[in-house]
Amino acid sequence: MTFFGLAAVNDLQPEKKAESTLSKFKDLLFSVFAFPFVVLLFWAIFAYDRELVYPATIDTFFPPWMNHAMHTFVLPILLGEVLVQPHVYPQTKHALTALGIVGLAYLSIIWVYMSVGIWVYPLLGRFSAAGLVGFFFFNMSVVILLYLLGNELSRRVW
């Protein structure tokens, strides 16, 4: 939502879009954070065992259409964005730094577990400490590969 809100505001700006700070920030958000990691990871785990990421009990207060709005419908919109709007990808070292910062911030879910004793995602409760480290490194590797894939896809399209 943040990305698409910034994209809409950016499109309404009269100045040269490619050179504006807003445009650069929008491109950073798209290239580093918006490309479809959440969609791929969520549905892969959901297909394996729904209870690990989205227990059926959630359906009573978080309807399935809202789940699809967050985890499904964004994929075709993001792929459409690649096709209709050129993005300037940041230097790889800057992108990797941003991904690393977000990855470290995401580890705050461990703080939630340590504070209240409940995992945000039940899947995480099935790992040993070494398994958690491996899982987070695997996820960061996938995120980096998706960044590189998005960069290549954008380069080929534009």
pLDDT value at residue 18: 62
Per-residue pLDDT of 101-124, as tens digits, reads 888 888 888 888 989 998 888 888
The tokens 């809100």 sit on which residue?
5
Rg of the chain over Cα atoms, rounded to whole angstroms, equals 17
Stated pTM of the model:
0.76
Answer yes or no: are the C-beta atoms of 153 and 82 closer than 8 Å. yes
pLDDT value at residue 131: 95
Phi, psi (deg, nearest 5) at residue 26: -60, -45
Range of the domain at 84: 1-157
> Hey, is 55 helix, strand or coil?
coil
Above 80 in pLDDT, residue 54? Answer: yes
Tokens at 150, concatenated: 């998005």
Considering its fold, how many domains does the chain have in total? 1
Residue 115's contacts (CB-CB under 8 Å, 6 or more residues apart) are none
Closest listed residue to residue 67, CA positions, set 84, 82, 50? 50
pLDDT value at residue 99: 87
